[in-house]
Amino acid sequence: MTKPINIQDLLPLLRDGWVAMNSNHNWYWFIRKPKIMKYNPIRWTMLKESPYNRLSLSAFNIAPVEDWTQSLIEVKNER
């Protein structure tokens, strides 16, 4: 098993957008700022979702945060 990485270490490698962890400890990258939708399951999502607007980061062993509702981070990389 590999050591979990901190989400902050992964941010420089990502496109501009947003990252957030859902209640099931899975991290996702979003092209636009997501909101918490209160349907089952409760999770971060966008109203107009498509396969190009959200990307699972499950290929990385990212450490979970204590409160997933506070996990939203804006990704801004200078190009």
* One-letter identity of residue 77: N
pTM as predicted: 0.85
- Residue 27: band (very low, low, confident or very high) from pLDDT cuts 50, 70, 90: very high
Q: Given a cut of 90, is residue 43 above it in pLDDT?
A: no
Spatial distance between the Cα atoms of 14 and 11, rounded to a whole number of angstroms:
5
Spatial distance between the Cα atoms of 8 and 48, rounded to a whole number of angstroms:
27
Q: What pLDDT shows up at residue 2?
A: 80
Mean pLDDT of 29-58: 80
Structure tokens at 39: 């349907």
Q: What pLDDT shows up at residue 26?
A: 93
- Return the bridge partners of 44, or none: 36
Mean pLDDT of 16-39: 90
